[in-house]
Structure 1
Amino acid sequence: MPETSLAGVLNELVLGDPTIEQVLDRVLDLAMRLIPHVDGASITLFRADMKPYTLRASDEWVRTVDKLQYELLQGPCIEVAATSAPTSGSADLASSTDWPVFGPAASEAGVRSLLAAGLSAHPDPNVPTSPPGALNLYSRHSAAFTAEEREEALLLAAIAGIGVQLVAARNDVERLREALSSRDVIGQAKGILMERHGVDDAAAFTILRRASNDLNVKLRDVAAELAASAGLAPDVTPRNGSHADRPAKK
């Protein structure tokens, strides 16, 4: 695997503001370009109840074969999740004894070889920092993947796992920042109402909540508008963008 390609993926994970989908699409694209005989690829994730779903896929037919694994509870990605094995696969699905139902069904769909590499070395739904899942590589050729290519698949799967964790952590930080900002501006609005109307904290909050319900506007947006009208500069921008850009009154 070219070092420059790996560096490019890592830069995309660290720099900019990519979504989980964008990071994983990049991983799938690399897998198909850098590993010979890969005709399709996907990312399987597992929910807390261990039910699998396809987060991203290179093609619709790949989703169809993924779905076969999920419905039959057979296949490499199911085994990776159940056993925490780094990789699982078959060089000839038509004659697979490991997956006697899924193997022939996948072969009939045109898939001859399949390799799944775990997104985490020890996928465990109870450990948020270790999201379970698999990178699935499909080939229309028998015996498509060498030992070296299995190692490359593991590296790409590790990158995908890192991407999921980094973006999830970033989203957690954004949600916390938003919550803190909302709390600040709501506190400002309550203070204004308490001063203007001589009410206590609970009554001020009731006024804000009633206005939010009557206007069908989020509570923090009502609070931001009130703070702006009082000449304050709240850090919360209403999501509809209708009020936050107004200059504070002097």
Structure 2
Amino acid sequence: MTELPTHELARRMAELARLVATPRRVEDVLSDVTAEVMALIPGTDAAGVLLVGKAGRFESVAGTSELPHRLDELQMMYREGPCLDAALDELVVRTDDFRTESRWPRYGPAAVEIGVLSGLSFRLYTSGQAAGALNLFALRPNAFDEEAETIGAILAAHAAAAILASRQSEQLESALSSRDRIGQAKGIIMERYNIDDVAAFDMLRRLSQDSNTKLVDIASKVIETRGS
């Protein structure tokens, strides 16, 4: 593998870090990460990200071609493969030659059949809701070495940061939206019953407890009655 000059690698990583920190859709950031994989790790013929959720749901995103998606579908069908292992169990999973690989008896031959001989997968993150892996594929054997693992691990860290930042942003937006709806409902109740905000919130809280309904859902129902 051709070694990238240290200063060039540092520059590319710094630029990628800046892009991750910029508010953008997580899919766009992950696409930047897989594009950097192709640029920084020679021998990579395709790269993508596999996200695995509860109940076996999965998303194949940021693929540099259709190949990662096809391979992800095979792994989810067979319930085995390097990307799944990386997402759920291992930090790094490297395969030098799928033709002699015994860890995945069904997936390995299927990958070989469509021309893939090498693979390198990195765990992205694990949460209560989902897990993920950054995956590299090559059409020749022994395509990846220790340098590829080092660079790939750094890129995986950037991808994980993008995913976590996106989820935190979504949670913040949801919290702000909930707070806004509860505030609107309090205002409606204060005006309707000529009570202060403490009493209005207490009324919402009691309605929530008595009906075993989330407070924000009670607030939404109050808002819907505004014109009644």
TM-score (norm. length: structure 1)? 0.70
Number of the residue aligned with 2:213: none
Counterpart Cα distance in 1 of 2:188 and 2:57:
44
Counterpart Cα distance in 1 of 2:221 and 2:66:
42
Number of the residue aligned with 2:49: 43
The structure-2 alpha-carbon separation of the partners of 1:178 and 1:135, relative to structure 1 and needing over 3 Å to count, comes to same
Give 1:53 shift: 3.6
How many residues are treated as equivalent by the alignment?
201
The structure-2 alpha-carbon separation of the partners of 1:77 and 1:178, relative to structure 1 and needing over 3 Å to count, comes to same
The answer to whether residue 100 in structure 2 is matched with residue 95 in structure 1 is yes
Cα RMSD over matched residues? 2.8
Structure of higher CA gyration radius = 1
The structure-2 alpha-carbon separation of the partners of 1:5 and 1:221, relative to structure 1 and needing over 3 Å to count, comes to farther
Among 43, 59, 63, the alignment partner of 1:57 is 63
In structure 1, the gaps of 5 or more residues are 203-217, 227-250
CA contact (8 A) 1:45 1:134 kept: yes
The structure-2 alpha-carbon separation of the partners of 1:61 and 1:81, relative to structure 1 and needing over 3 Å to count, comes to closer
| 1:193-212 superposed matches below 5 A | 193-195=192-194
Instruction: Write the deviation string for residues 169-192 of structure 1: whole angstroms up to 9, x where unpaired.
Output: 111111111111121122222323
Give 1:89 shift: 2.2
Structure 1 runs of 4+ aligned residues shifted over 4 Å read: 49-52, 218-223
- The one of the two structures with greater contact order (alpha-carbon pairs below 8 A, sep at least 6) is 2
Number of the residue aligned with 1:161: 160
TM-score (norm. length: structure 2)? 0.76
Counterpart Cα distance in 1 of 2:224 and 2:56:
41
| 1:1-250 superposed matches below 5 A | 2-15=9-22, 17-49=23-55, 52-83=58-89, 85-120=90-125, 123=126, 125-126=127-128, 132-195=131-194
Counterpart Cα distance in 2 of 1:37 and 1:49:
35
Instruction: Write the deviation string for residues 188-223 of structure 1: whole angstroms up to 9, x where unpaired.
Output: 22323334xxxx967xxxxxxxxxxxxxxx768768
The structure-2 alpha-carbon separation of the partners of 1:220 and 1:32, relative to structure 1 and needing over 3 Å to count, comes to farther
In structure 2, the gaps of 5 or more residues are 204-219
Counterpart Cα distance in 1 of 2:83 and 2:58:
9
Higher helix proportion (structure 1 or 2): 2
